[in-house]
Structure 1
């Protein structure tokens, strides 16, 4: 297993990490993802640790806290072997202070997460979404207090727009608060919007990407094919409305190339899609999920090898889309590109 620095921090994380969204299995969205209990979770954690995975990601909103509880039970007795990442900020109730990242909300959320996880510190705390109703200075000063208290070691964000992240980083630098070292983002062969602004920002500011839904909301498993109905067992039947939309013809075009490369390499379609992501700029770790041991072992097979440059080029071309202004086409023209060389 390869290990990389998480952004500009000194923390080293495995290039593949495990997402515990399948743990707990409560509610319409997370119930469709999976229903892994503590015993099953312990076995999946065993397999991850044997393979060298050290980062485990969850969130308070996953199954209303049950994911954190199951993960805590699964790592009991081996806390020093794992890096725990959890997220907060999305609504956990109907009350006026049950959502967002205000000072009281963040303090309570961290205390609740520590209790559910059965630990006294969180390695990486990420804000699940930007809170437009709370000043960034209030958010950052609270995170600073939590870091100084030893309850949180590193901080990051998830699903921020470029200006939201940059505003926060500027405030952190001005007031000498902890800087965000990670950005958990949606990124895949069928979702490359991350490359337009957030990737260059990450390179410039030392913010590492933790990639969620690297198989495009389950579309890059190889089970969805042109001219065939959606498989009965696909979770897209229950969750498609929650995920980003995808043009069908573009998806089929990417699958066709993945299929060809699978024949050339002897690897599976998911392994190729994951491997492509692992070698993109700013990516610190790709978060994989699994409802069972077979899925997990297959996804872990994405590490330890590389696609050829020609294969990467084919995947790039099959998955490219025209970016919006001002990123394309002007940035690709000679004069603009001379000032701002493309990242990828």
Structure 2
């Protein structure tokens, strides 16, 4: 396993992060336990979850919140491996029907953290991430709540998710004025097919010393050899079939390039993310043990300059960083 610093922090994390959104939703507890066992055995020390993962994610649906955290908590208790894991979870999403059971008020941050600690069966969270920006709550309130959790030893590092570049800048300016470390990581949608963060989020992460944690690194399966799967008779969801038709010319070129390289498309997509120095660890969310072991192969894939240029031609980004991407 390879390891990297998480942003400007001194914390070392594995270059692949185990995402657990499927635990309790499409992956049952027994399989989730086997996946976590194998992850640790392979050297993965970075687990990502969220308080809302594991079931329905709308407050008007049948309650299913916290199941992923509960499964991880039972595994940690049974395995005794808490000290070997960099454990990340998130706060923001609705966790009940009350007006203060969501977003980033100090009230909700305090309660959400206590609830996550209880479900995870641990006394601290290594990386506590804001799942979304909350522009209705002032940064003075957010940072005051986070500082208290750090002083209490309940949280070690703070991260963000789905922030814009200017949100990162605003958060860090306020943290600096409070002599607080602020953010060390940003979790964003980033893959070959969706490269919007190259405009401003990645430059902000580089400037402020945040490690980027790409979620959906395979584009929900689009970059994982979907055309080959169709040829092999595998059925895809209607949304995926529509995405395939929209991207078919690019997918045909992409999968042909991967064939020429002798590499699987999923491994190439992950290796492309890993070559970016701002990326700390793509988040892989296996539903099965086989998907986890498959993802580990990406660490051995090296992409040369010609391959990187070919990938840019197939999956062009926004043109670089702002403002040069759209102005002289």
| TM-score (ref. length: structure 2) | 0.89
Q: Which residue of 2 aligns with 1:74?
A: 75
Contact kept in structure 2, 1:323 and 1:329, CA below 8 Å:
yes
Deviations 1:39-71 (A, max 9, x none): 221211111112111100000111210001111
RMSD (CA atoms): 2.4
Q: Greater CA deviation, 221-230 or 136-145?
A: 221-230
Q: Which residue of 2 aligns with 1:92?
A: 95
The alpha carbon displacement at 1:114 in A equals 0.4
The alpha carbon displacement at 1:328 in A equals 4.8
Q: Which of these residues, 139, 142, 153, is aligned with residue 150 of structure 1?
A: 153
CA distance in 2, matches of 1:62, 1:226: 28
Q: Which of these residues, 44, 55, 69, is aligned with residue 53 of structure 1?
A: 44
The alpha carbon displacement at 1:281 in A equals 3.3
Q: Which residue of 1 aligns with 2:306?
A: 310
The alpha carbon displacement at 1:164 in A equals 1.4
Q: Which of these residues, 263, 280, 283, is aligned with residue 284 of structure 1?
A: 280
The alpha carbon displacement at 1:246 in A equals 5.9
CA distance in 2, matches of 1:324, 1:204: 16
State whether structure 2 residue 202 is matched by structure 1 residue 199.
yes
Question: 5+ unaligned residues in a row in structure 2: which ranges?
Answer: 55-64
CA distance in 2, matches of 1:306, 1:324: 22
The alpha carbon displacement at 1:305 in A equals 3.0
Q: Which residue of 2 aligns with 1:30?
A: none
Deviations 1:275-300 (A, max 9, x none): 11111131000111111111111111
Alignment of 1:17-166 (within 5 A): 17-25=17-25, 34-37=26-29, 39-63=30-54, 64-76=65-77, 77-166=80-169
CA distance in 1, matches of 2:3, 2:250: 28
Question: 5+ unaligned residues in a row in structure 1: which ranges?
Answer: 26-33, 334-344
Q: Secondary structure at the match of 1:280?
A: coil
The alpha carbon displacement at 1:316 in A equals 1.3
Structure 1's 226 and 10: CA in aligned 2 closer, same or farther, altered over 3 A? closer
CA distance in 2, matches of 1:169, 1:228: 48
Q: Greater CA deviation, 208-217 or 305-314?
A: 305-314
CA distance in 1, matches of 2:89, 2:233: 32
Structure 1's 163 and 49: CA in aligned 2 closer, same or farther, altered over 3 A? same
Q: Which of these residues, 260, 267, 271, is aligned with residue 263 of structure 2?
A: 267
Contact kept in structure 1, 2:19 and 2:285, CA below 8 Å:
yes
Q: Greater CA deviation, 108-117 or 251-260?
A: 251-260
Contact kept in structure 2, 1:322 and 1:328, CA below 8 Å:
no
Deviations 1:206-262 (A, max 9, x none): 011011000012211212479989953x3x44x76xxxx96854x334423432333
Structure 1's 142 and 214: CA in aligned 2 closer, same or farther, altered over 3 A? same
CA distance in 1, matches of 2:230, 2:255: 15
Structure 1's 219 and 247: CA in aligned 2 closer, same or farther, altered over 3 A? closer
